[in-house]
Amino acid sequence: MHIRFNPIGNLGAVSTFQVQQSQKTFTVEAEETDPKQAEIETSRKKYAEMIQSCNAIDQGATPKQLVNTQTNAICIEYGVYYHLGTINGKPLNGTALTGGGFNSNFSPMIWKSEPGTRVTPEQEAALRRHKSYSQAERQGANELVHVLMTLKRLGDGGSLATINKDAMFMQNFSRFAKGVGLDISKPFTINGKLFSYSKGSLQAVE
């Protein structure tokens, strides 16, 4: 970005030298963003989120409640460890990742190893945790995660019409809302946008 300054036209009683100096235009160049540096920073952020999420799962960290029950509002952010309700009485916690996907205690992401390398203790722990839940429980968790990620897209400006046609979302939204403490009998907000739920569909409230 360039900012050009034009010479001053009328300086009044100023020395000739200063007037001559003022006739020269000059340019201030703002530092432009380096695409490669921006890509590196994004990669670092994704990696940090993943590490933080895995540590939260491994250490049994206390998750953040998704709903502010006083205002009946949901605020979904990437990189935050949330509680999404329970499956068969077992708490479902996890993190929506900037790089895509959701890392949960039901299906923790397993770091990929290079061919021929040994399985790490962290990979073994993630696999044991994954196997500690039944396939039906993991499916139930996936359904709630799908609702969360769909709400994230909606809050970020996604198509309401498309979401109302999403069968998995519509079949599980009420269950999700009950699990996280969202009162859908009255208007609620998702990332600052106001909605209502009636007759099996979401509507934007103007």
pLDDT in tens, 60-76: 999 999 999 999 999 99
Identify whether the C-beta of residue 67 lies closer than 8 Å to the C-beta of residue 180.
yes
Question: Are residues 123 and 138 located together in one domain of the fold?
Answer: yes
Domain span at residue 22? 1-32
* Segment holding 103, helix H or strand E: strand 102-104
pLDDT digit string, tens, across residues 106-159: 988 766 666 666 767 777 877 888 888 999 999 999 999 999 999 999 999 999
Rounded CA separation 204/197 (Å): 9
Question: Are residues 152 and 169 located together in one domain of the fold?
Answer: yes
Query: pTM of the full predicted structure?
Result: 0.76
Residue 26 has pLDDT above 60, yes or no: no
Question: Are residues 61 and 73 located together in one domain of the fold?
Answer: yes
SS3 136: helix
Question: Are residues 88 and 150 located together in one domain of the fold?
Answer: yes
Question: If pLDDT is split at 50, 70 and 90, which confidence band does 180 have?
Answer: very high
